[in-house]
Amino acid sequence: MSHELKRLVNKISDEALRKQVVDLIEGFTVEIGGVVFEGLSLEATPGGMRRHHAYWEGLIQHTMASATIASALCDVIKEIYRGEVDRDVVLTAVITHDLMKSYVYRLTEKGDYRMSRLGERMDHLTLIVSELIRRNFPLEVIHAVAAHHGRNGPISPRTIEALVCFVSDDADAKLNGEVLNAARFLLSDCAGVRGVPLTAEQAFAVVRAKQTRGCEGVKKELEKINAGKSSPNTSFSGATSQDTLLNP
């Protein structure tokens, strides 16, 4: 398990629940009808195939970001709305919600992501919910994971913890997806280049450069991106879209 993920898991205060999460992360497998499927390592797993975090370590980054947002939302509920929320349930659900993406995507030789053979038949949400049930996770955790796609999933959030999990997941997916879309558009608009693999860090820098230094700033960022192309943390570029919130 990565150091960052371990630090996150250690924030689960209930010892038994924390152990369940560690065991899950270190040993989750998928076997259906006697067929054992192969998954990507957590490091190689993206947060999504195209829409958000579609790059190496994307899932870990998405998990860390969603957990940070979820923790802030728990503070808001407690300190501003004077409500109650179970942080262990929220954290466990956020940490586990997309784990099965490692089984539904595969990495191509070109370095982009496609559906795996299993992903053509099963979705990550069903797979993780089955695994959580099989491992006797608490119902409140299973519900929050099952409801993390909100109205687009098999059940919508019925608890405060599930609502926090859904909102934080959605917020981070949008934040990441929109900044990457905007950066791709700006690279195309200002420098005429398309299909540049970008990390989220580079995308934020490109958008920042445009807002502070205009197209000249974007071109400078592109030079930096090209100079560091050998970095292992490069992303699948996806399509250049003009339909972006940060679009000038």
Q: Which residues bind Fe ion (CB under 5 A)?
A: 98, 169
Cβ proximity to Fe ion: between 78 and 158 the closer is: 158
State how far the Cα of 137 lies from the Cα of 145, in Å rounded to an integer. Answer: 11
In the complex, least distance from residue 82 CB atom to Fe ion, rounded to whole angstroms? 29
Cβ proximity to Fe ion: between 88 and 98 the closer is: 98
Q: Please give the helix or strand (H or E) that residue 219 lies within, else none.
A: helix 200-227
In the complex, least distance from residue 173 CB atom to Fe ion, rounded to whole angstroms? 6
Q: What does the DSSP assignment read for 105-156?
A: EEE-TTS-EEE-TTTTT--HHHHHHHHHHHTT--HHHHHHHHTTTGGGSSS-
235 neighbors 246 (Cβ within 8 angstroms): no
Cβ proximity to Fe ion: between 98 and 161 the closer is: 98
In the complex, least distance from residue 42 CB atom to Fe ion, rounded to whole angstroms? 14
DSSP class of residue 159? S
What residues contact residue 85 under an 8 Å CB cut-off, 6+ apart? 74, 77, 78, 160, 161, 164
Cβ proximity to Fe ion: between 95 and 187 the closer is: 95
Cβ proximity to Fe ion: between 64 and 186 the closer is: 64
In the complex, least distance from residue 152 CB atom to Fe ion, rounded to whole angstroms? 10
In the complex, least distance from residue 226 CB atom to Fe ion, rounded to whole angstroms? 31
